[in-house]
């Protein structure tokens, strides 16, 4: 029993970490998809948290029962051959989008903390990502097991601090902003789950070695989704305390930490920048890997030719790119989410009997 809960905890953390990335921790994704709808944003987070919990439970249960080991093994049966090929292509483009967005976000952190022009910041970031992919990304990826838990803890600590010691001059007054509330928080929360599902389902399909029992799969999926909802609620509450002045900032949480001194702000900025570097390198590596598999070109040459092109794209700005690209992928991801839930909940007695004969 203890072993099951230990494995379930690991699975839930991996699932949550696949979504609590740098864009989430910066606060920009929360602002774009939830905070901007004020009271409706809280309802949206509850819907998103419930969907993440249901999705995690159903997908991991299916991965365990069908012994799925890769995204493609899940994708084709879930959506069909042609939609599956389309979604595979979309997921490749999503990797590219994440890379560009993370370069833009990290460039903004460099601009904020080193007082250099934004274009210099994104150029530095693109160069570092290119070097990491050309040489060795293992050391960079190893940092993710440390950075993401610390970053999550930082969000929780900042949330508690703000709730206990708020800056009353920046407190939110809902009466004066009722006319700005847009009543499509439900659609926004669905799109948020949609684009995040592209990565999270892919990650969950690789977790079979950790799924020692069906109990682990179900508890891991449910707890991971509920954890995501809880952290999103904390972050949204923090941002709401400082709204509306904080809503127009590229890195809302980083701006909030400045109110608590340079030390807190600098530590959070360093962790956020490292998280963006990790996200950029992993997504860039996956994109280059998929690209070279299709067009049969040397990976190092493709990296050298491709990365300079990310600089002008990242120059469009962190918040602009999130608001422009993520909703588009949200529609594709929503299709994947619905198809995955339907396939995951569908019974297949014939396959189950076949599996049982093998002693699985």
Looking at the predicted structure, is the pLDDT value of residue 348 above 60?
A: no
Q: Which residue has the tokens 């529609």?
A: 331
Maximum pairwise Cα distance, the chain: 67
Q: How far apart are CA 135 and CA 103, in angstroms?
A: 19
Give exposure, 248-272, as e/b (b: 16+ Cβ within 10 Å).
ebbbbbbbbbebeeeebbeebbebb
**Sign of the four-CA dihedral 94, 95, 96, 99:** positive
Peptide bond into 124 cis (omega under 30): no
Residue 100 vs residue 162, higher pLDDT: 100
Question: What span, in angstroms and rounded, lies between the C-alpha atoms of 302 and 292?
Answer: 7
Q: Residue 139: its pLDDT value, please? A: 54
pLDDT mean across residues, the chain: 82
Residue in the structure block whose two tokens are 């699932």: 15
Q: How far apart, in whole angstroms, are the C-alpha atoms of residue 21 and residue 229?
A: 14
pLDDT for res 137: 56
What is the per-residue pLDDT across 329-340, written as a single tens digit (0 to 9) for each? 999 999 999 999
Q: Is the pLDDT of residue 80 over 60?
A: yes
Q: pLDDT at position 48, please?
A: 96
Which of 235, 259, 243, 253 lies closest to 170, judged by CA?
243
Sequence-ordered list of residues with C-beta below 8 angstroms from that of 297, at least 6 positions apart, any chain: 291
Residue keyed to tokens 């360093």: 270
The per-residue pLDDT for range 239-288, each reduced to its tens digit, is 998 888 888 888 898 888 888 888 888 888 888 888 888 788 878 888 88
- Say how far apart CA 33 and CA 323 lie, in whole Å: 9
Residues 227-247: what's their mean pLDDT? 88
* Residue 169: other Cβ atoms inside 10 A: 7
Predicted confidence (pLDDT) per residue in 3-53, tens digit: 788 888 888 888 887 787 778 888 899 999 999 888 899 999 999 999 999
User: Which token pair is 335?
Assistant: 């299709």
Q: State the DSSP string of 205-244.
A: TT-GGG--SHHHHHHHHHHHHHHHHHHHHHHHHHHHHTTT
Q: Give me the domains of the chain, ranges plus CATH numbers.
A: 2-172+183-346 (1.20.1740.10)
More confident residue, 137 or 17: 17
Name which residue leads in pLDDT, 333 or 159: 333
Q: DSSP state, 176?
A: G
Contact 60, 11 (CB under 8 A): yes
d(CA 332, CA 79): 12
CB 23 within 8 A of CB 29: yes
């Amino acid at each position: 029993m203890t072993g099951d809960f230990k494995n379930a905890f690991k699975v839930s953390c991996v699932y949550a970490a696949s979504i609590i990335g740098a864009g989430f921790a910066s606060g920009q994704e929360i602002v774009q998809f939830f905070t901007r709808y004020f009271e409706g944003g809280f309802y949206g987070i509850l819907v998103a948290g419930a969907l993440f919990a249901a999705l995690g439970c159903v997908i991991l249960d299916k991965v365990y029962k069908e012994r799925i080991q890769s995204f493609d093994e899940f994708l084709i049966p879930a959506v069909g051959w042609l939609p599956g090929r389309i979604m595979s292509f979309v997921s490749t483009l999503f990797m590219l989008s994440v890379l560009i967005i993370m370069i833009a976000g990290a460039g903004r952190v460099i601009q904020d903390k080193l007082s250099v022009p934004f274009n210099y910041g994104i150029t530095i970031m693109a160069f570092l990502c290119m070097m990491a992919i050309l040489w060795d990304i293992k050391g960079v990826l190893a940092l993710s097991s440390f950075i993401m838990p610390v970053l999550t803890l930082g969000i929780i600590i900042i949330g508690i601090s703000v709730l206990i010691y708020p800056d009353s001059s920046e407190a939110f007054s809902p009466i004066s902003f009722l006319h700005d509330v847009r009543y499509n928080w439900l659609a926004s929360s669905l799109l948020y789950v949609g684009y995040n599902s592209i990565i999270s389902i892919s990650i969950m399909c690789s977790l079979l070695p950790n799924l020692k029992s069906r109990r682990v799969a179900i508890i891991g999926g449910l707890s991971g989704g509920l954890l995501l909802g809880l952290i999103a609620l904390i972050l949204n509450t923090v941002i709401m305390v400082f709204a509306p002045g904080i809503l127009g900032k590229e890195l809302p949480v980083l701006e909030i930490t400045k109110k608590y001194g340079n030390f807190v702000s600098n530590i959070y900025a360093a962790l956020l920048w490292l998280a963006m570097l990790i996200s950029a390198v992993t997504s860039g590596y996956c994109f280059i890997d998929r690209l070279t598999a299709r067009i049969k070109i040397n990976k190092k040459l493709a990296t050298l030719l491709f990365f300079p092109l990310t600089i002008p794209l990242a120059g469009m700005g962190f918040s602009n790119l999130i608001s422009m690209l993520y909703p588009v992928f949200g529609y594709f991801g929503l299709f994947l989410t619905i198809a995955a839930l339907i396939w995951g909940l569908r019974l297949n007695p014939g396959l189950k009997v076949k599996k049982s004969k093998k002693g699985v």
